[in-house]
Amino acid sequence: MIGQILAERYQIVAPIGEGGMALVFLAKDLRTGHNVAVKFLRPEFKENPDFLGRFHREATAASKMSHHNIVNLLDVSDGAENPYIVIEYVDGKTLKDIIRERKSLPEDVAAQIAIRILSALQHAHQAGIIHRDIKPQNILVNQKGYIKVSDFGIARMVGANTATIADANNTVMGSVHYFSPEQARGETATVLSDLYSVGVVLYEMLTGAVPFEGETSVAIALQHVQARPKPVRELAPNVSPAIEAVVMKALEKEPAQRYHTALEMAQALKIALQFPEKEITLDTPVLTIDPVRKPPPRRKRSRERIALIALTVLVVVGLAVGSLLIVRSVISGTKAPYLIDLEETTAIREARIAGLNPQIVRQPSSEPAGQVIGVSHDFDYPMKRGDTILIIVSSGPIEQATPQMVSLSFDMAEQEAERVGLKLFIKDRVMNPAAAGTVLTQSPEAGTMLAYGGIIQVEISGGEITIPDLEGKLYEQEKAGLEQLGLRVNLLDEVIVADPAQSGRIATQSPRAGSVVMADTVLDLVVYMLGPTPAPSGSPAP
């Protein structure tokens, strides 16, 4: 794909990233000479209507917006064979990378970043778009300190009939550490859900940790619904009471108790920076304009015009100072990353994350093709952003023999493919007596010669489980065994009974006993629970 020209205009230069849905490449716009980013839908998802829908939603959402804090859409492909969108190229780091490097950020820097995220969301919300996946990985910081919100791939249009959707693995869309409680409950996200997610991001910037952690996604989601996060100042004592108050208000469980708009939350942050010892409410006076009042005398109008100009200058200066603060705090200076033994695209990405300009030099080697065998600067060597780092990559053999994948677990097969510079993609998952995840077929067959980076498509087993008869059995005794079988147990409902002997026993099940299903299937159970006997019909109320 490198060197390919799209639409007689965009020449693919290098891969710069990948996610669960898309592959992203750096490209050059041959008409303007500018760098752009081209996002392709992964090949294995081109026939999947859910992922196609997400991809098209990102393009639709992006087309409705144009804002300096949003990664802007530049072009969209016409053809369905290889869907792609062309977006603004942001040369910098994700906010997640910055938090990992620095553990936490000063509150004035964190607040300035949050204000810019909120500015982007205010624009999106006014355009009728809810992001639904605000997280540090989707916030980009370029070399000049500009903040860009990216990835509207699961955005929802306000008023559209698109409640929170499940993806191919039947999981709720979005990122569980940054979910709002309503998203965790499977309810429709609103603009207030985005504000909760900004609160989580701000909490993480200030403390270096997300509010809730757990062993499973379900455990984390339940905490969003039920638990109170530790106060910010308990983890970061240097944070002011005012900033802490803003964060905790954004993290309220009930949407009505949060800020009502992104603009309102941004105003609260600005006030908190001005009055750090005060527990901020929005009662502090802000500039308002009364649209129905009579025009004041000329002298008064003149004074108000001067005051408005002064206020505008202060706002502009404040934003400029905030950007400079971001540049000085998170952008200036870097260190050489550890790249030896990494795969080429990973090494390029790591170098760019560090703010460096990677240049590839290839040399013959006994190491697998595409593996980094040398660099121009040792690990942790102090460098300036924009400096060039030479990455020496093994050219290896021209072709690789496809390994035998059949009968291996998918994880082992993936490791074996990566060892010889090939990639593994799941073509299908089918019911089969083999253990779930076992490779059943592969294409091309073992021994076929493939160029470095070639793709092996595999069909894997989804397992084969016969549902046992559970009615009348104790739920707590059966649950662990069912999960060991590979089923996902869901307590669907409870039925109140007066007989203590029935309490805790399974009343009904779905799928029914004897059904044969794949691993990871959801088993819905209704359980009897002891409760008060219903009063006979016509009995007087107590």
Closest among 516, 514, 464, 511 to 492, alpha carbons compared: 511
| Helix, strand, coil % over all residues of the chain, rounded to 5 | 35, 25, 40
Closest among 24, 20, 296 to 167, alpha carbons compared: 20
Choose the catalytic residue: 29, 75, 78, 133.
Answer: 133
Nearest-angstrom CA–CA distance, 399 and 408: 23
Contact assessment for residue 113 and residue 92, using Cβ atoms and an 8 Å cutoff: no
- Per-residue HEC secondary structure of 84-149 comes to EEEEECCCEEEHHHHHHHHCCCCHHHHHHHHHHHHHHHHHHHHCCEECCCCCHHHEEEECCCCEEE
Contact assessment for residue 229 and residue 251, using Cβ atoms and an 8 Å cutoff: yes
- Residue-wise DSSP of 31-69: TT--EEEEEEE-GGGTT-HHHHHHHHHHHHHHHT---TT
Nearest-angstrom CA–CA distance, 248 and 229: 8
The tally of CA atoms less than 13 A away on the side-chain side of residue 197 is 30
Encoding tokens for residue 12?
């693919």
Phi–psi pair at 539, nearest 5 degrees? -70, 145
Residues 6+ apart with CB under 8 A from 116: 69, 147, 322
Contact assessment for residue 505 and residue 529, using Cβ atoms and an 8 Å cutoff: no
Phi–psi pair at 487, nearest 5 degrees? -95, 155
Contact assessment for residue 497 and residue 463, using Cβ atoms and an 8 Å cutoff: no
Encoding tokens for residue 511?
């799928």
Closest among 493, 495, 494, 491 to 522, alpha carbons compared: 491
The conformation of residue 330, written as its DSSP 8-state character, comes to I
User: Where would I find the H helices in 149-297?
Assistant: 181-184, 191-207, 217-226, 232-235, 241-250, 262-274
User: Where would I find the H helices in 275-335?
Assistant: 298-326
Is-catalytic flag, 387?
no
The conformation of residue 169, written as its DSSP 8-state character, comes to T
C-alpha 505, offset from chain centre:
40
Nearest-angstrom CA–CA distance, 352 and 93: 8
Contact assessment for residue 66 and residue 54, using Cβ atoms and an 8 Å cutoff: no
CA-derived radius of gyration, the chain: 28
Positions marked active-site: 133
